[in-house]
Amino acid sequence: MSVLIFIDQSDGHLKKASFEAAAYGAAIAKQFNTNALALVLGNVADDLTQLGNYGISKVYQAQNDSFNHVDALVFAQVIAAVVKQLEASVVVFSHTQTGKAVAPGVAVQLKAGLVAGACALPDTTNGFVVKKTVFSGKAFALVNITTPIKVITLNPNSFGVQTTTGNATVEALDVEVPAASVKILATNKVSGEVPLSEADIVVSGGRGLKGPENWGMIEDLAHVLHAATACSRPVADAHWRPHHEHVGQTGVQIAPNLYIAIGISGAIQHLAGVNRSKTIVVINKDPEAPFFKAADYGIVGDAFEVVPKLTAAIKEMRSK
């Protein structure tokens, strides 16, 4: 047996969440005293041997023009065929857009049990029990996968990007690529910003900011912190900010190392998208705002006074 980790990439660069998935898969391989193998689909500019630093012993890379876009059905068929070829028993994805779209298809192809959104290593003392978050992160479920092949998607930021030393070897893999099931007509990418789903730090604003004209201070704070910007749903609904910045139950779900919520009340639907953040800082003028209950640090104060001072203090600290 072996553990196969799917390495997600974007525009030729490996995604941060993939390093965490690699480290997680390598830790599972260690539990079973076997090898951690990685699979990369498409052309990649990054050095793939670096995956050895996350416990991968061998990277398989399959190249084909159709891998430039993620077609979930094509990816699922190709990955399932590679799993069979390499006789892998555990397949690990990151619980990102790609992982969420592709992993279920792989599980179907392999008649494998799937745990989506794992947050800890499997407990193998009695079966293969994987802990996962449920009810938007409000509770945990323990799921025993009983099929011979097991598929897991790992919640980003739940295991950590654990490093070791080592170099992975890279081998080209010939794969049969099925006909595309969808045709991509155009791709519009947001450029010049830190992508929200990949960001280490996110500065987010809510209705407390009164209007779009006040977003300069959010952007200034995000700029000094090299952070992405986000917002609550009413802010996007009112077109103060673009919809791709809306986080929460019905928006993007994120798990950065630091989430700074400014003028956001902390409604349950908002928390559902951000409560996996490592550290939450809340700035709100209402000491009774529900968000303070979920916060690691809170500042009770007027955002229009607090935020510019915070930005200036960070700027000064960085200039020393």
Give me the residues that bind ligand FAD (CB under 6 A), please: 206-208, 232-235, 248-251, 263-265, 267, 269-270, 273, 283-286, 289, 302-304
CB of 156 to ligand FAD, least distance (A): 18
Query: What are the structure tokens assigned to 194, written together?
Result: 């830190």
CB of 293 to ligand FAD, least distance (A): 12
Dist. CA 94–CA 151, nearest whole Å: 11
Pick 149 or 222: Cβ nearer ligand FAD? 222
| Distance, C-alpha 94 to centroid of its chain | 7
CB of 108 to ligand FAD, least distance (A): 29
Dist. CA 49–CA 257, nearest whole Å: 26
Pick 114 or 294: Cβ nearer ligand FAD? 294
| Distance, C-alpha 166 to centroid of its chain | 24
Pick 129 or 267: Cβ nearer ligand FAD? 267
Dist. CA 199–CA 196, nearest whole Å: 5
Phi/psi of residue 6, each to 5°?
-80, 125
Contacts of 257 (CB under 8 A, 6+ apart): 157, 200, 201, 277, 278, 279
Pick 80 or 231: Cβ nearer ligand FAD? 231
Asked if 245 contacts 230 with a C-beta cutoff of 8 angstroms, the reply is yes
Pick 1 or 267: Cβ nearer ligand FAD? 267
Pick 132 or 246: Cβ nearer ligand FAD? 246
Count Cα neighbours of 25 within 13 Å in the Cβ-side half-sphere: 38
Dist. CA 278–CA 261, nearest whole Å: 13
By beta carbon distance, the residue nearest ligand FAD is 248
CB of 261 to ligand FAD, least distance (A): 8
Phi/psi of residue 10, each to 5°?
-140, 125
CB of 291 to ligand FAD, least distance (A): 7
CB of 215 to ligand FAD, least distance (A): 13
Query: What are the structure tokens assigned to 171, written together?
Result: 């081998």
DSSP H or E segment with residue 167: none
